[in-house]
Amino acid sequence: MAIVVFKGFYTALLAGDLAGSPDVRFRAVLPTFSGEAEPLAINLADITTMATYDGANYADYDATSVAVAFDDADEAVYLDADNGAGNEFGAAVDEASDVTYGLVAFLFVDGTDANDIILLFTSDGEVAGQNGNGGQMGLTLPPKGIMAIAAAS
């Protein structure tokens, strides 16, 4: 399991762009994703190899009820969103060139990789190891969401 919080997350947080209900999207990525070694990325285009899921009929998930919240008990910041009906990435997603490796969360600015802000990556959870194979492809986040920042112990 890996979680990478990108510089884009801190930049957006400090700018107030994650307050309220921000427009956050989720992208499934394949094993050639290079972002784990690029934590200073601010925009999606800053990642050398994005490796977006390449099966036909796939679409990034436009999350609803997004919240970035501090949990006092855990002393951690979480990114959370509503789980959908199991077809968040598509209802009939074709098989990709490989199984999914993880999930990228990003702040939608205008739909271009040069401007959309990369927030975090996780290989934890149900997205890793999926392949559409002509069926629906969904996303279930952990109950509190994805932990983005934890206090040092």
Query: How does residue 151 score in pLDDT terms, banded at 50, 70 and 90?
Result: low
What one-character DSSP code corresponds to residue 95?
Answer: P
Summarised one tens digit per residue, pLDDT across range 57-89 is 999 999 888 988 888 888 888 888 887 777 888
Place of tokens 């990003």: 106
- DSSP letters along 115-151, please? TSEEEEEE--STTTT---TTEEE-----TT-EEEEE-
Q: Which helix (H) or strand (E) holds 42?
A: none
Domain segments of the chain as ranges: 3-150
- pLDDT tens-digit series, residues 36-56: 999 999 999 999 999 999 999
Residue 145 and residue 3 in contact, taking contact as beta carbons nearer than 8 Å: no
